């Protein structure tokens, strides 16, 4: 879907981006900041373009993506059914909520050292961390979404003799799905942050985080470090907009989504 933006807005956006990039470039070129440490924007962009052709970096990106997607899928596979079960029983969900609230404030980042000693295989460690980070937004959103299902629709089906499973499948799940998707989107962005953090600390130099750590220890080329960070941001934005587009297509029938 292409939306035409008013030209004034586009112009302002260009002024903002060009202005910020220009100022940063100028500060580095004019020696206001140490350009060895804070490289000019043009250099970072050139490095970022160069990384595209770098097979080693490509492999690192692939490793990160694999772990990220595996962790997310695992979290969906566990979080959605768990949310559905908890949502069915009011007493259970009331009792589970303090537990869930605590576990979800437990930052996955603090689990990194534990995960590193627990999983000898780095890939498993990363999948576990992503899974743990992604699980709570998905579980909580599923739980809340089920609470908001229109009771009249449920009762109508019930009075027509549909069983509880059938009500779940025909009413609750379709009505909860968009909100669950929002949970998946939040989970994806948190998951990316956590997996890259895990890679920064894993010490085996794989993944985007591993690439950054290795660059740091082999002379500290900040231009390459920033270029890799830039690509991580691009991956996050791309994944988010892909999920939004998927959401729009899948739930076209739901105006509010």
Partner 1 sequence: MSALVRVLRRAWLVVLVVAAWELWTRYAEEAYFPPPSTILPALRDLWFDGPPSLLFLNETARDDFAASLGHLFGGWLLAGAAGVLVGVLIGRSTTAREVFDPVLEFLRAIPTPTLVPFFIVLFQLGATMQIMTIAFGVIWPVILNTADGVRGVDRLQLETAQVFGLGPVRRLVEIVLPAALPKIFAGLRVSLSFALILMVIAELVGSTSGIGAQLINAEHSFELPTMWAVIVFLGVLGFLFNGVLLLIERRFLGWHAGARQTAS
Residues of this chain that bind partner 1 (CB under 8 A): 8-9, 12-13, 15-17, 19-20, 37-38, 91-92, 94-99, 101-103, 105-107, 109-114, 116-118, 192-193, 196-197, 200-201, 208-209, 212-213, 215-216, 220, 222, 225-226, 228-230, 232-234, 236-237
Q: How far is the CB of 37 from partner 1 (least distance, A)?
A: 5
Q: Which is nearer to partner 1, 84 or 195 (CB)?
A: 195
Can you give the C-alpha Rg of the chain in angstroms? 23
Which of 152, 156, 159, 135 lies closest to 86 in space, CA to CA? 135
Q: Which is nearer to partner 1, 26 or 237 (CB)?
A: 237
CB contact set of 87 (below 8 Å; sequence gap of 6+) = 93, 142, 143, 146, 147, 172
Tell me the C-alpha distance between 58 and 208, whole Å: 9
Q: Which is nearer to partner 1, 92 or 250 (CB)?
A: 92
Q: How far is the CB of 166 from partner 1 (least distance, A)?
A: 28
Q: Which is nearer to partner 1, 7 or 161 (CB)?
A: 7
The SS3 assignment for 30 reads coil
CB contact set of 231 (below 8 Å; sequence gap of 6+) = 48, 51, 61, 208
Q: How far is the CB of 134 from partner 1 (least distance, A)?
A: 15
* 31 torsion bin: left (phi>0), alpha (psi -120 to 50), beta (else): left
Q: How far is the CB of 24 from partner 1 (least distance, A)?
A: 10
Q: How far is the CB of 9 from partner 1 (least distance, A)?
A: 5
Q: How far is the CB of 110 from partner 1 (least distance, A)?
A: 5
Tell me the C-alpha distance between 22 and 15, whole Å: 10
Q: Which is nearer to partner 1, 111 or 157 (CB)?
A: 111
- The answer to whether the CB of 82 falls within 8 A of the CB of 139 is yes
Q: Which is nearer to partner 1, 142 or 154 (CB)?
A: 142
């Amino acid at each position: 879907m292409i939306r035409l933006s008013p030209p004034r807005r586009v112009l302002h956006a260009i002024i903002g981006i060009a202005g910020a990039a220009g100022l940063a470039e100028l500060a580095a070129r004019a020696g206001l900041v140490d350009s060895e440490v804070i490289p000019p924007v043009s250099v970072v962009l050139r490095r970022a373009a160069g990384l595209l052709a770098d097979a080693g970096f490509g492999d690192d990106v692939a490793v990160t993506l694999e772990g990220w997607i595996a962790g997310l899928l695992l979290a969906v596979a566990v979080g959605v059914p768990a949310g559905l079960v908890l949502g069915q029983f009011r007493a259970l969900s009331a009792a589970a909520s303090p537990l869930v609230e605590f576990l979800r404030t437990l930052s996955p980042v603090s689990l990194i050292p534990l995960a590193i000693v627990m999983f000898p295989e780095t890939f498993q460690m990363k999948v576990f961390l992503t899974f743990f980070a992604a699980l709570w937004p998905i579980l909580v959103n599923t739980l809340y979404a089920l609470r908001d299902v229109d009771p009249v629709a449920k009762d109508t089906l019930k009075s027509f003799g549909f069983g509880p499973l059938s009500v779940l499948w025909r009413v609750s799940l379709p009505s909860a799905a968009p909100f669950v998707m929002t949970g998946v989107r939040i989970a994806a962005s948190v998951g990316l942050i956590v997996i890259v953090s895990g890679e920064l600390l894993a010490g085996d130099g794989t993944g985007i985080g591993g690439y950054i750590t290795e660059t740091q220890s082999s002379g500290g080329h900040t231009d390459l470090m920033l270029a890799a960070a830039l690509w991580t941001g691009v991956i996050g934005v791309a994944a988010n907009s892909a999920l939004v587009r998927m959401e729009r297509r899948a739930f076209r029938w739901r105006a509010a989504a």
